[in-house]
Amino acid sequence: MRKLTVALFVIALAPFANGIAAADDLYTDGVTRAELMVILSGYGMTVKDTTERESDPWLQAHTPKGVLFYVNMYECSGSGQDGQRCGLIQFQAQWQNAKSNIKASDINAYNLKFVFGRAALSSDGKSVVFDYPMNIKDGVTKGNMKKNVDNWLRVLDDVRSTFKVF
């Protein structure tokens, strides 16, 4: 009887098993620079680890369209490219506003209209910064990381088109 109960329990849970990520599809305590470099490279990006101090890890990347951006990594533990896991990451791009054609009101309008990503104008008005932060402290699946990279690329194109920064 006991074996029958266990068997029925296992059968009852089987439909839910597809929704549970396998251990190798999950970054449980953040992501390493090496893991993130693999994901970004999978999109045809050129990625370079530009970390100078372990306390301040970051990557430099170029999208397939040639747009330069950085990935700043925070709340990290461990050491090295393969061992330091970071729970907060921030994708960030920056452009010059040399002609001062982008105004604070344009930035505010963008931020009110769009949910993902945040635009800012430097205090002197000479540059525009666009960032997209992610909190992955409690874990993230590889699939969700890829969806966020997809979204980063999409909103990056949106902000470039909106502000005509190329």
Q: Which CATH number applies to 22-163: 3.40.50.10300, 3.30.1460.10, 1.20.1250.20, 3.40.50.720?
A: 3.30.1460.10
Structural domain boundaries of the chain? Answer: 22-163
Task: Flag whether pLDDT at 25 surpasses 90.
Answer: no
- The percent of residues above 70 in pLDDT, for the chain, comes to 86
Residues 6+ apart with CB under 8 A from 50: 58, 59, 60, 70
Task: Give residue-wise pLDDT tens across range 90-139.
Answer: 999 999 998 889 999 999 999 999 989 999 999 999 999 999 999 999 99
pTM for the structure as a whole: 0.82
Please give the mean pLDDT across all residues of the chain.
Answer: 87
Sheet with 118-121: strands ordered across: 46-49, 58-62, 68-77, 85-96, 127-135, 118-121
pLDDT for residue 22: 56
